[in-house]
Amino acid sequence: MSWRVHRRVLVLAAVLAALIAAPASAMTLVPPKPDVLLGVSDRGTTAEFNEFAALTGKHPALLQTFHPWGNSLNEAYERWRETATRPILAISTADDQTLAEVITPEQIALGAGDDYLLQLNTFFAGRGLPAYIRPLGEPNRCLNVWSAVNCDGSQKGGEYSTYWYKEAFRRISAIVRGGQTLEGLNATLAEIGLPPLNRTKGLNPESLPAAPVSIIWSPLPGGSPRVKGNFPGNYWPGSRWVDWVGTDFYSQYPVWEDLERFYAGKQWKGKPVAITEWAVSGEDEPRFVEQLISWTVKHPRVRMLVYYDGFGVGNQYDLNLYPRTTNTLRLKIRRASFLPYAEYNAGLFPPLPPKPKKK
């Protein structure tokens, strides 16, 4: 065994031992006070990640990858590993090419997507890879297929009700976290009125390993549209199923009253808060950056700040378009409390083994 391989084995063993020895509360993966984890969205290449890091003058600790339901994590894992970041996996139920719906909230709640949830549990638990799982973000944004409302403000009802959203979220959380026997998991699901584990590709496992993941629930701070039944609290799945509360905040919609109200929400009082997406768009907005960084510093439960870097042709979120915004951001995040690395990140882990050659 080469020293490089031997070292990786030692590092992985140390990480696994530390995570196993850690108390249950450590799975929130919250940095020490007053630190805030910086992050950026994944644009598909390490080169684009490195460009963002160079622009801001600081390596992001987190890389948020947006994936449709059922997608393989292999390519994303290599980016997380090569960029030495801790993953945020944002899970959508819309195909990223066609935007067609893959699975409904009711179907998730009733077990139709359990194969994928077991895949996630196995992936993160088997590697001991700490990660944040962000399922079905922005549920109160009508353009998302898992939202309970139409854009005219009417309720979709049926399999898209807030009831089924909350039940789907709870099932995702229970299975991806793992750490229970099959009997214990099925009892947990039955307790919230849901059917037992439904693995279709083989037999159900006798137990699920505990995955070192932290679950983020992340509605918009207000609602889109702002109608009865479409505010954050309408989608709250309950404290038991949520490790972090998050929200998104963009320069086009700087409704600070909504952000303040979300932060102070009684239902999730005491939970760490993440700004799971923020960005400027359309024009240079250094003032917005100053305000958001100042707000973050003054609100001690905010422990994660993730820039949405956009993608594709005509990307309006690209910081290259906004030099004054970029310069302001560089200055504001120089303080040591804005962390460039998470203690345990994918950079500590070995690459995936090569795929076997087809004969």
Q: Could you give the C-alpha distances from 259 to 24, 274, 296, in angstroms and in order?
A: 29, 12, 11
Residue type, 38: L
Give the model confidence (pLDDT) of 172-203 as tens digits: 999 999 999 999 999 999 999 999 999 998 99
Sequence-distant (≥ 6) Cβ neighbours of residue 231 within 8 angstroms: 140, 222, 223
Residue 24 pLDDT = 35
Contact predicate 93/135, CB 8 Å: no
Residue 20's H or E segment, with its range, is: helix 3-21
pLDDT at position 7: 44
Tell me if 230 sits within 8 A of 223, measured CB to CB.
yes
The runs of H, that is alpha helices, within 128-179 are: 162-177
**Ordered domains of the chain (ranges, CATH):** 3-346 (3.20.20.80)
Between these two residues, 265 and 28, which has the higher pLDDT value? 265
Percent of the chain having pLDDT more than 70? 92
**pLDDT at res. 11:** 46
pLDDT reading at 353 higher than 60:
yes
Q: What is the mean pLDDT of residues 123-130?
A: 97
What is residue 306's predicted lDDT score, i.e. its pLDDT?
Answer: 98
Residue 110: both structure tokens together:
């009733």
21-32 per-position pLDDT tens digit: 443 334 689 999
pLDDT at residue 13, rounded to an integer: 52
Q: What is the per-residue pLDDT across 35-78, written as a single tens digit (0 to 9) for each?
A: 999 999 999 999 999 999 999 999 999 999 999 999 999 999 99
Q: Once rounded to an integer, what is the mean pLDDT over residues 140-145?
A: 98
Which of 49-58, 103-112, 186-195, 347-356 bottoms out in mean pLDDT, i.e. has the lowest? Answer: 347-356
What average pLDDT is seen over the chain? 93
Chain mean position to CA 33: 21
Mapped onto helix, strand or coil, the DSSP state of residue 12 is helix
| pLDDT value, residue 27 | 64
- Predicted confidence band of residue 356 (pLDDT cuts 50, 70, 90): confident
Contacts of 3-10 with C-beta under 8 Å, sequence gap 24+, read 5/350, 8/349, 8/350, 9/350
Query: Going along the chain, which residue ranges are E strands?
Result: 36-41, 62-68, 86-92, 131-135, 180-181, 207-208, 213-217, 244-250, 273-279, 302-307, 338-339
Average pLDDT for 157-167: 97
Q: What does the pLDDT read at residue 357?
A: 75
Q: Is the pLDDT confidence value at 239 over 90?
A: yes
Question: How confident is the model over 268-287, as a mean pLDDT?
Answer: 97
pLDDT band at residue 312 under the 50/70/90 scheme = confident
The per-residue pLDDT for 6 is 46
pLDDT at residue 333 above 60? yes
Which pLDDT belongs to residue 355? 78
Tell me how far apart the alpha carbons of residues 105 and 98 are, in angstroms, rounded to a whole number. 19
What whole-number distance in Å separates Cα of residue 229 and Cα of residue 211? 33
Q: What is the pLDDT of residue 359?
A: 65
